[in-house]
């Protein structure tokens, strides 16, 4: 993390890579800073299933010390400092990244607004941050993380949590 770099939990930045091949989407991509503003390192998370684009190929091949250009932080999708209502955060797959940043930050600052994350993944194997967010919610009674799996049949393991897509009924429950 660069010295004196300040951002809010949930913000993102545009990352640029020097590419050898032409990428139809260009040489820049937005990534959420999924670390907390209180962390010493910056972390981004992305899904690299198939390495079709030159950008993802280059991203996967990066080694410590390689040059990456960053513009940001950007965005105002952040936790409110005050609220008289509970907060419900809904995420699907890799869309969990801003909420990971927010809940990490909330846990380290004793955030006291009741906040529930409901995160949906296709299979158990695709879930990310499950153990960490479960630990965080056990340490702060104002925070809750609910994971749901939409395609249990594709999983190698049994799932005892919520199943199915996020619905009005699930949110109310």
Q: How confident is the model at residue 1 (pLDDT cuts 50, 70, 90)?
A: confident
Whole-angstrom Cα distance, residue 89 to residue 154?
Answer: 25
Whole-angstrom Cα distance, residue 131 to residue 26?
Answer: 35
Residue 155 is predicted with a pLDDT of 73
- Per residue in 48-106, pLDDT (tens digit) is 777 778 888 898 899 988 889 999 999 999 999 999 999 999 999 999 999 999 999 99
Q: How confident is the model at residue 6 (pLDDT cuts 50, 70, 90)?
A: very high
- Per residue in 140-168, pLDDT (tens digit) is 999 999 999 998 777 777 888 889 999 99
Whole-angstrom Cα distance, residue 70 to residue 130?
Answer: 28
Looking up tokens 């800073």 gives 33
Helix/strand/coil percentages in the chain, nearest 5: 25, 20, 50
pTM: 0.89
56-to-1, 42, 156 alpha-carbon distances in Å: 22, 19, 27
Residue 52 is predicted with a pLDDT of 78
Q: How confident is the model at residue 46 (pLDDT cuts 50, 70, 90)?
A: confident
């Amino acid at each position: 993390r660069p010295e004196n770099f300040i951002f809010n939990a949930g913000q993102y930045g545009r990352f640029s890579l020097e590419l050898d091949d032409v990428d139809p989407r260009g040489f820049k991509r937005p990534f959420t800073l999924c670390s907390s503003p209180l962390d010493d390192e910056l972390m981004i998370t992305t899904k690299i299933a198939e390495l079709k684009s030159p950008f993802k190929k280059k991203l996967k091949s990066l080694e410590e010390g390689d040059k990456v250009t960053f513009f940001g932080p950007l965005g105002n999708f952040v936790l409110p400092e005050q609220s008289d209502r509970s907060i419900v955060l809904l995420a699907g797959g890799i869309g969990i990244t801003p909420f990971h940043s927010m809940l990490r930050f909330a846990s380290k600052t004793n955030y006291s607004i009741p906040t529930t994350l409901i995160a949906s993944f296709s299979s158990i194997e695709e879930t990310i941050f499950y153990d960490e967010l479960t630990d965080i919610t056990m340490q702060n009674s104002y925070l809750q993380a609910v994971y749901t799996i939409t395609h249990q049949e594709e999983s190698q393991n049994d799932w005892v949590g919520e199943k199915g897509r996020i619905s009005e009924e699930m949110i109310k429950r």
